[in-house]
Amino acid sequence: MSLFSAYREGIERGHYGDAFDEMFRDPANLVPQAHCRALVERLNQITPEEFARRVGIADTMLMNQGVTFTVYGDAKGVERTIPIDLVPRIVPSDEWAVIERGLTQRINALNLFLHDLYSVDCKILKDDIIPAEIIESAAHYRREFIGCPVPKNIHVHICGTDLIRDNAGNWCVLEDNLRTPSGVSYVLENRVILTRIFPQLFSQYPVRPVDHYTTVLLDNLRGISPRRHSAVVVLLTPGVFNSAYFEHAYLAQQMGIELVQGNDLFVENDMVYMKTTRGAHRVDVIYRRIDDDFLDPETFRKDSALGVRGLMRAYAAGNVALANTIGTGIADDKVIYKYVPEIIKYYLGEDAILPNIETYCAWDDKEREYILANLSKLVVKAANESGGYGMLIGTQASKEELADFAERIKENPRNYLAQPVIELSSAPCFVKDVGMVPRRVDLRPYILTGPDGVTIIPGGLTRVALVEGSYVVNSSQGGGSKDTWVLSRSMQAQFQSQTQSGSGKQSQSQSQSQSGIGLQGQRSEQNPVQPPTPAEAEWDTLTGDILATAPEDPPKEREPIAGVLMQGQAVAHHGEQQHQQEMMQQQAGSQQGNAGRESPAGHSPRV
């Protein structure tokens, strides 16, 4: 039995027939896309039993490295590894070039929008491009920060924009995440795992690397420091019970900066200091993974134990920089999403390169009538929820669920919008005891903005709706992830020509290796998939031994994140770092998805 024996049946069973297939241009006959041909040929040489063995190796590696996320309210337990599917998603270079231009255009326009919105003039509202009532009623609009200076005029330093393909294969923007976007650690870990599980594949494909993400991020953070030299950067986490705590620890470790909690910092004379065993050290830049509401009990929620009292005074005085800045949540309000094409046109004078999904806002009387009349045909979302929460898929909802959402919309129309059900693209995923079957996917690229411009890491997080027939890709709702391969433009044309022609020429793949991110090698095109080299065969033997001994003696490729996190106060960066792990009651509440709370703006001083 081949890996793809169940694929056709899976298309019918999960109703994927109308979806654009990422791997096959003719899914019914398993005819691959041109850029996926070599991958399909290689996978066809692997038995389901062998593939399942490698899945077991990957799961063991994830567990050993502590690559986990938290599911709140799950009776099976709080922490678990995020499922990774070992079949990569491949994006050709010409498609990626369009995505890159579209995302750069979008983040530039959104930064201009935020800069204008928090300026005294606020021209976009005066010119009536966006209704003022939409802005003023938004949960994450921070009036108290109008006129507050922002380092380098950059409001959004890290953004994760969710993209989907429609059934014609066209890329569209589903939503923007501009507050505290998460998931990039899984992008980096997925690549490391795949290079170890299937090293042969990287010698056949000109895959662009992703491992420079933390280097670029750290450079950008240092670039917004109020002090020119010896900038001290820290990552502020809610703590160990936050759903993305692994990522916080991972990024701090990779950048070589301190992972701190609110009680590690204090403000004196409008400057932020970090407590260390060698005394107080001034902090210049805070990469915060805490929502606005919890950052400073002096300005926002008075009951917050996660933030730093007086932090907003230091920020307003220009003595510390925050990434992302205060108030960016207004730009990822799902109602504001509808106006992003107009925002792009207003600030840049250009049409949007990447289109939005058609959107209806319930605050508008006519559009609300349409939503209520067509609820069973639409996807309804809450304006400030994430993680797959606060959402209704009308085509899969019961009568009770439809009635419940109708009442919610009538009670709070500003908080809801609707979109038509878009048939997300599908990609092959491995299911144990079944083989390869299609599952719906989206893509979250990560965009970094710094003083030197915009950097987009080639690829991103491909999220997978692992439940058959599901449209929900979020990990908190049972979703998984894939490694995303963007092909190198300089070699793709040659690569595709050789894989399609069947000529006897040899091609040298591009080396993209740091920590095994890419491997050099040559392949004969008369036999595109060669037997493994001695080194690769040795790795296969090694991983087989690892899997066999995993229960008693699990592999340990790197020091696990959990092993380098130590309890205690943060210490100065002198060699080995020690990171604090202190439990705090409000950690779960300050996760990225906790976005629906009202800002206590009425009790906040203007800074």
* Secondary structure string (H, E, C) spanning 45-109: CCCHHHHHHHHHHHHHHHHHHCCEEECCCCCCCCEEECCEEEEEEEECHHHHHHHHHHHHHHHHH
Which residues partner with 485 through β-bridges?
90
As given in the structure block, the two tokens for residue 166 are 């429609």
Q: Do residues 403 and 455 both lie within one domain?
A: no
For the chain, the maximum distance between any two Cα atoms, rounded to a whole number of angstroms, is 74
Closest of 325, 64, 14 to residue 179, by C-alpha: 325
> Of 402, 421, 440, which residue is a domain's last?
421
What is the structure's pLDDT at 598?
A: 33
- Give the pLDDT of residue 241: 85
Local confidence band at 151 (pLDDT 50, 70, 90 cut-offs): very high
Residues 458 and 366 in one domain: no
Residue 23: exposed, middle, or buried by beta-carbon count in 10 A (0-12, 13-18, 19+)?
Answer: buried
| 9-60: pLDDT as tens digits | 999 999 999 999 999 999 999 999 999 999 999 999 999 999 999 999 998 8
Is residue 309 in some structural domain?
A: yes
Dump pLDDT digits (tens) for 374-404: 999 999 999 987 656 778 999 989 999 999 9
- Output the CA torsion sign for 361, 363, 368, 372: positive
Tell whether 435 and 476 lie within a shared domain. Answer: yes
Total domains present in the chain: 2
* Per-residue pLDDT tens digits for 225-275: 999 888 999 999 999 888 889 999 999 999 999 999 999 999 999 999 999
Q: Is 525 among the domain residues?
A: no
Cβ pair 258, 573 in contact under 8 A: yes
Let me know whether 191 and 313 are in one domain: yes
Is residue 488 domain-shared with residue 437, that is, in the same domain? yes
Using CA atoms, how far apart are residues 257 and 288, in angstroms rounded to an integer?
Answer: 13
Q: What is the CATH number of the domain that holds 409?
A: 3.30.1490.270
Give the distance, in angstroms, between the CA of residue 606 and the centroid of all CA atoms in the same chain.
33
Q: Are residues 309 and 175 in the same domain?
A: yes
Domain boundary among 369, 397, 421: 421
HSE of 21, CA atoms in CB hemisphere, 13 A: 25
Q: Give 114: exposed, middle or buried? Use CB within 10 Å, 0-12, 13-18, 19+.
A: buried
Percent of the chain topping pLDDT 70:
77
CA-to-CA distance for 599 and 5, rounded, in angstroms?
54
- Which residues are CB-contacts of 171 (< 8 A; sequence separation ≥ 6)? 95, 98, 99, 102, 163, 164, 165, 354
In a domain, 527, yes or no: no
Which residue's structure tokens are 């087989």? Answer: 544
Asked if residue 403 and residue 437 are part of one domain, the reply reads no
pLDDT digits (tens, 9 = 90+) for 56-96: 999 888 888 877 776 655 555 556 777 899 999 999 999 99
Together in a domain, 57 and 115: yes
- Are 271 and 321 part of one and the same domain? yes
Decide which of 371, 404, 421 is a domain's last residue: 421
**Residue 1, in any domain of the structure:** no
Does residue 194 form part of some domain? Answer: yes
Q: Write out the residue range of the structural domain in which residue 109 sits.
A: 7-357+422-520+540-597
The answer, yes or no, to whether residue 429 has pLDDT greater than 80, is: yes
531: in domain: no
The answer to whether position 383 is within a domain reads: yes
What is the distance between the alpha carbons of residues 329 and 597, in angstroms, rounded to a whole number? 12
**pLDDT surpassing 50 at residue 413:** yes
Q: Are residues 378 and 292 in the same domain?
A: no
Under DSSP, the state recorded for 316 is H
Using a 10 angstrom Cβ sphere, with 0-12 exposed, 13-18 middle and 19 or more buried, the burial of residue 276 is: middle
- pLDDT exceeds 80 at position 515: no
Same domain, 585 and 509: yes
Q: Within a domain: residue 143?
A: yes
Domain co-membership, 410 together with 330:
no
